[in-house]
Structure 1
C-alpha cells in the first residue's frame, strides 16, 4: 500500500515539474513542426501518465476499500478474540473452583476413610503409650508424695533438733553449778551429753558407734577416743568431748571488767589447750580406724564455745590447722542426724541390692523350672510317639488280617467266652 502511494506521488510530481518547465521555457514566437511533434509526444505521454495515474488511483481506492474491510474484519476478530479470552478466563475460574471443590471433596472423603482405617492402628500405638504415661505419672506422683513425706519428716526432725538443743542447753545450765571445779565430773558429763545426742539422732551403740574402744597408735601406745562413729563403707568418724566450765562460770559471775577479761582469756586458753591436746593425739592415724583427716571436738555448752569464737575470731581456723573441727550441741546433732540419714540410705541401698540379688536368683530358678518343663514336654512327646507307635502295631499289619487287634477280635468271633469288648475306635482302625 505504501509503495503505491509513493509511486503515485512520483508520477504527479513529474507531471507538475514538466508543466512548470514548459510554462517557464516556452517562447511566444511561432511554433515549429518540431515543437508540435514534441508537444504531441508530450501530450501523449501525459495522457498515458494520466491514465496510469487514474488506474493507480482506482487501484488505490480499491485497496483502501479492501483495507477498510480488512480493518473492520480485524476489529471484529479482535473483539471475538477478546470475548473468547474472557470466556476462557471465566471457564478457567469455573474449572479452578470446580477442581477445588472436587479436590476438597476427595480430600475429605479420603481423610475420613484414612481416619477410619487408621483409628484402630493409632489406638493400638497410643494405648500402650498412654498406659506407659499413666504408669510414669503414677511413679511421679508416688515420688512426689514420698518426697513430701520426707520433707515433712525432715521438718519434724529439725523441730526436734531445736527442741533438743534447747533442752540440752537448759540441762547444761542446771548442771553448771554441780560441775564446778570437778574436772572428772565435767568430762563424764560431756560424754553423757554426747551419748544422749547420739541416741536422739537415732544411732545405736555397738552398731553405729563405739565408746572408748582401745586402739594402737604408730608407736604402739594405747589410745582411747571418746567415741568412734561407724560410717558406711567401713569408714569412721572420731568425736572427743571436752568441758571447761570454771573460767566460763567465773566470767559470768563477776562484774569487774578486768577480772572478766582475765577469766575470758583463761577460758580461751583452756579451749586452745583442748585443741592442741586433741590434735597431738593423731587419732586419724590409729590402726583399725579409717578416719578422715579431721577429729570433732565437742563442746556441749554452746554459749561457752560462741563466747570464745567471738573473742578469738581465728580460733576455728587454728583448730582446723590442728585437724580439729569445733562443734556445739546444735551442729553436733545436725551432723549426727545426717550420719543417721546416711545409714538409712545405705540400708535402703543394701535392701535394693539384696532385692536385686533375690530377684536374680528367683529368675534363675524360674528359668530352670521352665527348662525342666521343656524337657518334660519333650519326654511327654516321646512317650506320645512311643504310644502312637505301639497303638499302630496293634492296628496295622503288612498282611491282610494280621493285626494283633484283628486276631484278638477273631478269637471272640470264634466263640470265646468273654464279658468285655475292645474299644470300638480300635476296631474301626484294624485292617481286616
Structure 2
C-alpha cells in the first residue's frame, strides 16, 4: 500500500504524462480483476483509423458478445484535484475544485471530438467510457457539478470510476460466460444431431447386413438340401455309386452321409448327428 500511495502522490504532483501513465496502470488493474482476458475479451493499444485516415489509439477495446465493442479511454485530472485535496484555505480549495471540474469537462470535450464510434475495425456501441482513475477525484467532480454526467452523455460518453467500471466489466464477463455456455450448448446439440444421424445410418447398415445374412442362410439351406437333406440329394446318389462298387480313395464325411440317408431330414442340417 505504501508503494501504491507513493506512486499516486508522484502522479498527483507530476506532469500530464505521469498522470496518464498512472491512469493506465489503474485501468489495467481493474481489467485484471474483472475476469476478462486480454487478447480474448479485450484488447489494448489498438491502432485504428477513422474515415479520413487519421490514426487513433484508444486505451482499451472491450469485446462484447454479438460482435459489439466498448472503447475505454483513461483520462486523469489530478493537478487541480491535488490542490483541492491539500488546500488549507477555503478560497483556494473552492478555486481548485472549479479548476478540477473544468479539467474533467475539458477531457470530455477532447474525447468527444475524437469520435471513437466512427473508427474503422471496431463495432463499438454509440458511446465511449471515460475512465477517471482516482475514485475521490471522480466523486468530488460529479458532486460539485452533477451536470457533468449529462454533459458527457451529450458527447456520447459515460463517466466511470474504478468501482463502477469494475461492476460493468464483471457484468460483461458474466455475459461472456453465458455466451460460452450457449455456444457449448449449441455444440452439444450439433454433436448430438451428428451422433443421431450416424446411429440412424448404422442401424440401416445393420438391417441391410442382416437381410444379406438371411439371404445367404436361405441360399445355404437350399444348397445343403440339394447336397444332403432332400430326397434324391447328391450325396445319397453318390453313395449309391459307392455301394455299387465304385472305388473311392476316401468316403464322404460320415455326418453328411447320415444326413443324406432316407430319414436324414431328422438330422440338423450342416451339423454332425
TM-score, structure 1 normalization: 0.57
Q: Does residue 212 of structure 1 match 2:45?
A: yes
Q: Does residue 183 of structure 1 match 2:13?
A: no
Please list the CA deviations of residues 51-86 of structure 1 after superposition, one character each: whole Å capped at 9, or x if unmatched: xxxxxxxxxxxxxxxxxxxxxxxxxxxxxxxxxxxx
Residues 1:225 and 1:410: Cα distance change in structure 2 (over 3 Å):
same
Match of 1:405 among 235, 239, 252: 235
Shift of 1:172: 6.0
Q: Does residue 236 of structure 1 match 2:69?
A: yes
The equivalent residue for 2:217 is 384
Q: Structure 1: 5+ residue runs without aligned partners?
A: 1-166
Q: Does residue 360 of structure 1 match 2:193?
A: yes
The equivalent residue for 1:27 is none
Residues 1:351 and 1:286: Cα distance change in structure 2 (over 3 Å):
same
Is this contact kept in 2: 1:172–1:301, CA < 8 A? no
Give me the whole-angstrom Cα distance separating, in 1, the residues matched to 2:234 and 2:18: 107
Q: Does residue 296 of structure 1 match 2:126?
A: no
- 1:32-431 to 2 correspondences below 5 Å: 173-179=5-11, 180-395=13-228, 402-414=232-244, 416=247, 418=250, 420-423=253-256, 424-427=258-261, 428-429=263-264
Is this contact kept in 2: 1:228–1:238, CA < 8 A? yes
Shift of 1:171: 7.2
> Over aligned residues, Cα RMSD in angstroms?
2.0
Work out the number of aligned pairs and report it. Answer: 259
Shift of 1:395: 4.4
Give me the whole-angstrom Cα distance separating, in 1, the residues matched to 2:3 and 2:100: 21
TM-score, structure 2 normalization: 0.88
Which moves more between the two structures, 324-333 or 387-396? 387-396
Shift of 1:173: 4.4
Give me the whole-angstrom Cα distance separating, in 1, the residues matched to 2:17 and 2:178: 38
Is this contact kept in 2: 1:176–1:245, CA < 8 A? no
Is this contact kept in 2: 1:212–1:225, CA < 8 A? yes
**Secondary structure, in 3 states, of the residue corresponding to 1:288?**
coil
**Secondary structure, in 3 states, of the residue corresponding to 1:233?**
coil
Residues 1:192 and 1:426: Cα distance change in structure 2 (over 3 Å):
farther
Shift of 1:388: 1.9
Residues 1:248 and 1:426: Cα distance change in structure 2 (over 3 Å):
farther
**Secondary structure, in 3 states, of the residue corresponding to 2:254?**
coil
Give me the whole-angstrom Cα distance separating, in 1, the residues matched to 2:142 and 2:217: 91
Shift of 1:379: 0.6
Give me the whole-angstrom Cα distance separating, in 1, the residues matched to 2:15 and 2:210: 85
Please list the CA deviations of residues 270-292 of structure 1 after superposition, one character each: whole Å capped at 9, or x if unmatched: 10011111111111111111111
Please list the CA deviations of residues 173-197 of structure 1 after superposition, one character each: whole Å capped at 9, or x if unmatched: 4433211132111111111111111
Give me the whole-angstrom Cα distance separating, in 2, the residues matched to 1:263 and 1:176: 19
Please list the CA deviations of residues 258-311 of structure 1 after superposition, one character each: whole Å capped at 9, or x if unmatched: 111111011001100111111111111111111111100111111111101111
**Could you say which structure has the higher helix fraction?**
1
Residues 1:270 and 1:191: Cα distance change in structure 2 (over 3 Å):
same
Give me the whole-angstrom Cα distance separating, in 2, the residues matched to 1:296 and 1:384: 78
Say which one has the larger Rg.
1
